[in-house]
Amino acid sequence: MISTIAEFHPSTLAQPHPLQLGTHRPSEDTVIVRVDGDIDSHTAPRLHEMLQERVHGAIGTLVIDLTAVTFLSSSGLRTLELAYLPAVERGITCVLRPPTSGTVQRILALFPMRFTDAIAAP
């Protein structure tokens, strides 16, 4: 029996997508935070800072738009939860817009966390 070890080529791995954040205020009491790219241990602090600023502002609804997120790590999940919990405590409606397909939606579905009620249907 002959066994072979596959060669590892780092160039075949998916390259990270830089995180891009933006906000939109469609009404006086609603803020949409658009997230694009990878949310991992390196980029989650930027997202956390932006979300905390919005949660502690004068808003009634916070929409976190993840439709363009390409990767979500456990750090990213924690960041979302840390935005959701104080939002709910302050009476803010918090909605997560997940991607319509792909890894990020599966990750959100696999982790039954306290903010799962906020996940909008794709």
As a three-state string, the secondary structure of the chain is CCCCCCCCCHHHCCCCCCCEEEEEEEECCEEEEEEEEEECCCCHHHHHHHHHHHHCCCCCEEEEEEEEEEEECHHHHHHHHHHHHHHHHCCCEEEEECCCCCHHHHHHHHCCCCCHHHECCC
pLDDT category at 1 given cuts 50, 70, 90 is low
**Residue 4 pLDDT > 70, yes or no?**
no
**Residue 120 pLDDT > 70, yes or no?**
no
Give residue 9's pLDDT: 47
* The CATH number of domain 16-118 is 3.30.750.24: yes
pLDDT category at 112 given cuts 50, 70, 90 is low
Of 86 and 4, the structure prediction assigns the larger pLDDT to: 86
